[in-house]
Chains A and B, each alone.
Chain A
Amino acid sequence: MSSHQINLIVNGVAHEVLVPANRTLAQLLREDLGLTGTKQGCGEGDCGSCTVLLDGEPVNSCLVLALQAHGHKVLTIEGLSQGRELHPIQQAFVEQGAVQCGFCTPGMILSAKALLDKTKRPSQEQIRKALSGNLCRCTGYQKIVEAVSEASRRLSRERS
């Protein structure tokens, strides 16, 4: 099996790693870089728990080869908050009760981040569509939608 020298930026930090061809981005993040905030719920792109942002766009890291991330920027849940300070989306998830078991939460928050980076004040429908690849079995999604809405309000206030 071939191995590949790759360069990628994870949460703002440049990494140069040698990966076997069959390593997924999820494995690279979880096992090689110790970023276990990226969860593995199915391994086949059905649940969205392993969502990370690849150049700002949400992808299932279980279905991306690590070597395909060569030359790209990856944002994981660990890269969102600054030290102890939560990102406004995280803060909204905490305060609105959008977190239960927490297994879908990192992926959910990253999908929300990708949405809010592009759409400042999304409608309920836009929020639902943007999170439609992230399954949650605990919440019924209502508080998640409310949290993303609340986060968009906060981010708009912060910007103005």
Chain B
Amino acid sequence: MLLPKFDYHQPRDVAEACRLLAELGPAARVIAGGTDLLVNLKHGRLRPKALVGLERLQELTGLETGRGRLFIGARNTAAHLAASRSLGGGLKFLAQAAGCLGSPQVRNRATIGGNLCTARPAADLPPALLCLGARLLLDGHQGSREVALSQFFQGPGLTTLAPAEVLRGVVVPRPGPGCGGGYIKLGLRRAMEISLVNVAAYLELAADGRRIAQAQVALGAVAPTPILSPRAAKALMGQTAGDKTFAAAAEAAAKDARPIDDHRGSAAYRREMVRVLTRRALQQAWEQARGGRGGKK
């Protein structure tokens, strides 16, 4: 399998990258890990005239904590996130999701930026990041802006990223004690899978360790983009954590899912799996949240 011909540019900083992208126009594509882009190029699904490589952009690196926030540079690989000690506690489910992406070889190349900008409905990282209320830092030709991840995805392969913009990184709040997350991916095999359905859940327990103070559930592969389930969040907020609440939230999440039939699975099965996985992801999140408060099972 051959790659088509293209020019390759290696800007030294974000400003140069944005300038280049502006100059080259829509015929250029950004490349970071390349695990998705190069496959598309080989299959002729994309035919860019030029690639703009991000490997020299130092602004896109780093995994830094500050003022209750965590900055994750767009060039962080999935492998790095999966192994990172910065992603502990209530962020652990993000590391867990990163560890489910592709294969070890793919995780060593695939970046968080790529996983978001390719906007695959079944991508592994978006659900956890959606739960966390992640915000994206976008650098453009004319300046920078910040956008909520929930506003970023527009459809399969489509985002609000402007043609001459580069995703610098992702910012998530650092969860305190009493927070927990869960991530479950359903596929055929136990490795190298594209999710049939994936679900992330996030809970923040009140000081009593029982009442749910904050909650989010996010779903993948059941809509044109990864989505949050507002109904599930509503069903959880203020309720006492436990099987009954989670079952209700799972029902609610299934209502928010908008799956389709395709060769990987039927819409009905996917919707049903949203119910099962949501319940289980919430259970995971709860166990972790209680653990964080020093509570016992």
Contacts and interface: CB of A to CB of B under 8 A. Distances in A.
A–B contact via C-beta, under 8 angstroms: yes
Interface stretch (A62-70, A92-100, A145-153): A62-70
A1 B35 contact: no
B108 A59 contact: yes
Contacts of A45: 35, 39, 102-103, 105-106
Interface string B25-38: 00000010011001
A20 B8 CA distance: 9
* Interface of A (DSSP majority class): mixed
Contact of B192 (A46, A59, A62): A46
B105 A51 contact: yes
A132 B39 contact: no
Given A21-B6, A64-B34, A133 B106 contact: yes
Contacts, number: 89
B295 to A, nearest CB: 28
B108 A44 contact: no
Interface string A129-160: 11011100000000000000000000000000
A132 B191 contact: yes
Given A63-B34, A63-B35, A58 B104 contact: yes
Contacts of A114: 104
Interface residues of A, number: 32
Interface in A16-65: 20-24, 43-46, 48, 51, 54, 57-60, 62-65
A68 B38 CA distance: 13
Contacts of B43: 44
A4 interface: yes
Contact of B103 (A20, A48, A68): A48
Nearest to B79: A57
Contacts of A62: 1
Interface string B98-131: 0000111110110000000000000000000000
Interface residues of B, number: 30
A58 B8 contact: no
B8 A21 contact: yes
Contacts of A24: 3, 38
Nearest to B8: A21
B62 to A, nearest CB: 18
Given A22-B5, A44-B1, A130 B38 contact: no
A82 interface: no
B108 A58 contact: yes
A124 B271 CA distance: 35
B262 interface: no
B188 to A, nearest CB: 14
B34 A68 contact: yes
A64 B103 CA distance: 15
Residue of B31, B104, B105, B108 ringed by the most chain A CB atoms within 10 A: B105
14 contacts: A20-B5, A22-B2, A24-B3, A45-B39, A45-B105, A48-B103, A60-B106, A60-B109, A65-B8, A65-B31, A65-B38, A111-B105, A130-B104, A133-B191
Of all A-B residue pairs in the complex, the 4 with the closest CB atoms, nearest first, are: A133-B103, A43-B1, A132-B191, A21-B8
